[in-house]
Amino acid sequence: MRADGRTGGRAERISAVVKRTEQIADQHHYKIAVIPGDGIGPEVIRAAIPVIRAAAAINGATLDFAFLPWSADHFLATGETLPESGFIHLRDEVDAILLGALGDPRVPDHRHARDIVLGLRQRLDLYVNLRPVVSRRTGGSADRRMVHGIDLAIFRENTEGNYLGRNRVEHEGTADERWISEEVNSVRGVTRIIEAAFEWAATHRRTRVTLCDKSNAIEGQWIWPRIFADVGARYPGIEREHRYVDALAMELVQAPERFDVIVTTNLYGDILSELAAGLVGGLGLVASANLHPGRPGLFEPVHGSAPDIAGTGRANPIAAILAGSLMLDHLGLAQASRAIEGAVTRSLNGSIFTADLGGSASTADMASAILAHLSV
């Protein structure tokens, strides 16, 4: 029975999709490493994989999902976060990495999450963090406020900024104790993320790229507008504009629909993408791709592990499913990626919603609704 109490053709449509998945010839085969992680991570990944697998079949591809144990449970039992052999496997032997979520109150220093997520970003040099934010609902009964007309992409520099771990403590244990964190912005790092943003804009027919920084107050960010002007000059058909992060945060609330592509620092990209997610329905609807051309990408929901609802069956699987869409696009399976996006949009304009969207559907119900809407 559906969450809205109705029965009908959903089971038949799911059966047809699964049958098509099994019948299509194996033209392409991809190895996907899966790190389900902590909290709701395993739940949303378990719900997402049938949708991702069925979408890949639309492109004539098969996916081999191999589950890896790294999580808080594994760390607490073994003391191991990301072993060297595991890193080499991910670097050399898989086509992509799908991550559920990491974070557990039993590990208050977040050591395992930091070693796995930040470790992979740094060691694989996944310098592009791409976070598309799209309004997918046009109506319906969900009670969460959703702003219509938003279709933007945030390009977050993923390997520098404040996330390098260059920290120190001075005068520890005294009244003058100070904790210091260094921010790093290099010519190489800033140039390549800005180039990635403009290139994506050009290939996706976007007309404006917005630089976001705080260079009026932080001298270490002066490099951003300089390089932005140099790179932007190569793309005369794309409008360039510059916003300080505080002003941009206000504009995202007031007029988010005017933005196409935003390129920014590691820290600001992290914050602004969650603000933007709140405008389209919450973190349960936004995914993230960590990329470096020619290397395995890391794909994940933007949301965290949500330990307060873990095991309840209430988690929204859409962000994990959309992470799969980004993964398929990265693998060159554009038709499959578009099929997932279309299925998610059709589902969100239906009548089945998880609790974060004002409904009562379970994680499995939501994923089944999307699978039923999957089509070429």
Q: What are the start-end ranges of the E strands in 21-150?
A: 28-37, 61-67, 96-101, 128-134
Provide the pLDDT for residue 228: 98
**Which range of residues forms the domain containing residue 173?**
147-279
Q: Which of 279, 299, 322 is the last residue of a domain?
A: 279
pLDDT band (50, 70, 90) for residue 1? very low
Average pLDDT, the chain: 91
Nearest residue to 28 via CA among 249, 322, 347, 331:
331
Q: Is residue 42 part of a domain?
A: yes
Residue 166 neighbours by CB under 8 Å, 6+ apart:
181, 182, 184
Q: What is the pLDDT of residues 7-59, one digit of tens each?
A: 456 565 555 555 544 444 345 899 999 999 999 999 999 999 999 999 999 99
Q: Is residue 137 part of a domain?
A: no
Q: Is residue 50 part of a domain?
A: yes
pLDDT band (50, 70, 90) for residue 351? confident
Q: Tell me the average pLDDT across 323-341.
A: 97
Number of H helices, E strands in the chain: 13, 12
Domain co-membership, 116 together with 6: yes
Count the neighbouring beta carbons within 10 Å of the beta carbon of residue 231.
Answer: 23
Give dist(CA 359, CA 282) in Å, integer: 14
Q: 3-state DSSP helix/strand/coil percent for the chain, to nearest 5?
A: 45, 20, 35
Give dist(CA 340, CA 260) in Å, integer: 21
Q: Tell me the average pLDDT across 180-184.
A: 90
Q: What are the start-end ranges of the E strands in 135-195?
A: 151-157, 167-170, 178-181
pTM score, two decimals? 0.89
Q: What is the pLDDT of residues 107-125, one digit of tens each?
A: 999 999 999 999 999 999 9
CATH code for position 250? 3.40.718.10
Q: What is the pLDDT of residues 229-258, one digit of tens each?
A: 999 999 999 999 999 999 999 999 999 999
In sequence order, the β-bridge partners of residue 70 are none
What is the Cα gyration radius of the chain? 21
User: Is a pLDDT exceeding 60 seen at residue 70?
Assistant: yes
Domain co-membership, 11 together with 104: yes
Q: Tell me the average pLDDT across 352-360.
A: 91
